[in-house]
């Protein structure tokens, strides 16, 4: 580990503790006493307000109500932050009203040479949804639905919500315990447990018209909600192993309310596990077409007989 990286990590380690010793630093970061002492002195010189305690059990603690120093980043860390920030464009993420100021602050933290590198990266790298004729990092064009930020702000304090949604031509309100908020196919979705109908429900954030905390006296415990959900879980009967080409196809379109479980750090292979209702002809037909859409880069570990029969029937249409 490089010195700059080690000192940054030690600073975070120190900042999360009321008290620490040189021996703890030596053991945690596998460094010598002299190196630990030099690192601590350098951190003090950077402005971190450390106070030394003498005696057998002595050590250091961070003074309260003091401004901590700015964390330093390596060249690669700066590039990683910048590329990740670029990749969020046109993703309708929350809090991006401040995207321009965030970008300006990031660029202001680094040297001119580093800024030149980032400007070049911004010209070279294009991500999905980026206009190649105007790949400006500071372009503010991807604000999410206004209800999203309000929803997230409320979820930071409470998961039991009373929501009102637009259903066709009428409004409907009901209580829900929200378990996940996720983005799929360019839409933000709520996954939760409908406390009135007692079943899992998925609601597009775009359909929300009002949200507020649910009456605490009418709530049921999270434990009981999980028990009810577990009883409703269907047995998995479709298991697929996807290669890189099939993963790319999956990202283009997938009718199933599931996500992939990647099986290597490069995300070139993945598993998909879910339940298919073979008694639903419409769902069965859509699944059959989708499996053909995924292409050859696919291995089937488990599949219902009805799905195989559907695939064979589709193939006979092309090879009578």
- Write out pLDDT tens, residues 112-157: 888 888 888 877 887 766 666 665 554 545 677 888 988 998 998 9
Contact 234, 202 (CB under 8 A): no
pTM score, whole prediction: 0.55
Does residue 309 lie in a domain region? yes
Name every residue whose Cβ is closer than 8 Å to that of residue 79 and which is 6 or more positions away in sequence: 117, 118, 121
Residue 191 domain boundaries: 146-232
Do 310 and 277 lie in one domain? The reply is yes
CATH of the domain at 44: 1.10.10.10
pLDDT of residue 142: 64
What's the confidence (pLDDT) of residue 240?
93
For residue range 286-298, list pLDDT tens digits in order: 888 888 899 989 9
pLDDT above 70 (res 54): no
Q: Is residue 140 part of a domain?
A: no
Residue-level pLDDT at 5:
80
Q: Is residue 105 part of a domain?
A: yes
Residue 223 maps to a domain: yes
Higher pLDDT, 219 or 119: 219
What are residue 170's DSSP bridge partners? 167
- In a domain, residue 25? The reply is yes
Residues 6+ apart with CB under 8 A from 128: 90
Q: What is the pLDDT of residue 242?
A: 94
Give pLDDT, residue 213.
94
- Report if residue 117 sits inside a domain: yes
As a whole number, the mean pLDDT across the chain is 82
- CATH number of 155's domain: 2.30.30
Domains in the chain, number: 4
Three-point CA angle 169, 175, 178, nearest 5°: 105
User: Are residue 226 and residue 157 in the same domain, yes or no?
Assistant: yes
Residue 133 inside a domain? The answer is: no
Angle in degrees, CA 120, 126, 131, rounded to 5: 110
pLDDT over threshold 90, residue 161: yes
- Structure-token match 């700059």, residue found: 4
């Amino acid at each position: 580990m490089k010195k700059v990286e080690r000192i940054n990590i030690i600073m975070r380690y120190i900042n999360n503790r009321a008290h620490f010793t040189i021996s703890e630093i030596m053991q945690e970061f596998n460094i010598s006493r002299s190196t630990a002492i030099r690192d601590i002195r350098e951190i003090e010189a950077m402005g971190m307000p450390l106070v030394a305690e003498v005696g057998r059990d002595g050590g250091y603690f961070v003074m309260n109500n003091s401004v901590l120093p700015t964390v330093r980043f390596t060249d690669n860390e700066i590039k990683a932050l910048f590329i990740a920030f670029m990749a969020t464009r046109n993703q309708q993420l929350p809090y991006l009203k401040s995207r321009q100021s965030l970008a300006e602050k990031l660029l202001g933290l680094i040297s001119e040479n580093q800024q030149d590198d980032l400007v070049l990266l911004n010209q070279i790298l294009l991500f999905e949804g980026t206009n190649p004729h105007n790949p400006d990092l500071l372009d503010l064009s991807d604000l999410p639905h206004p209800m999203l930020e309000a929803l997230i702000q409320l979820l930071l304090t409470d998961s039991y919500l009373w929501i009102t949604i637009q259903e066709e031509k009428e409004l409907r309100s009901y209580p829900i315990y929200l378990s996940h908020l996720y983005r799929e196919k360019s839409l933000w979705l709520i996954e939760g447990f409908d406390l009135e109908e007692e079943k899992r429900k998925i609601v597009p954030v775009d359909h929300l018209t009002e949200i507020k905390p649910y009456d605490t006296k009418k709530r049921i415990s999270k434990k009981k909600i999980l028990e009810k959900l577990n009883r409703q879980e269907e047995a998995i009967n479709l298991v697929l192993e996807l290669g890189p080409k099939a993963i790319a196809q999956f990202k283009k379109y997938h009718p199933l309310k599931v996500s992939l479980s990647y099986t290597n750090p490069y995300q070139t292979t993945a598993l998909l596990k879910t339940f298919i209702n073979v008694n639903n002809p419409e769902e069965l037909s859509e699944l059959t077409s989708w499996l053909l859409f995924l292409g050859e880069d696919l291995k089937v570990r488990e599949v219902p007989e009805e799905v195989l029969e559907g695939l064979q029937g589709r193939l006979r249409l092309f090879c009578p």
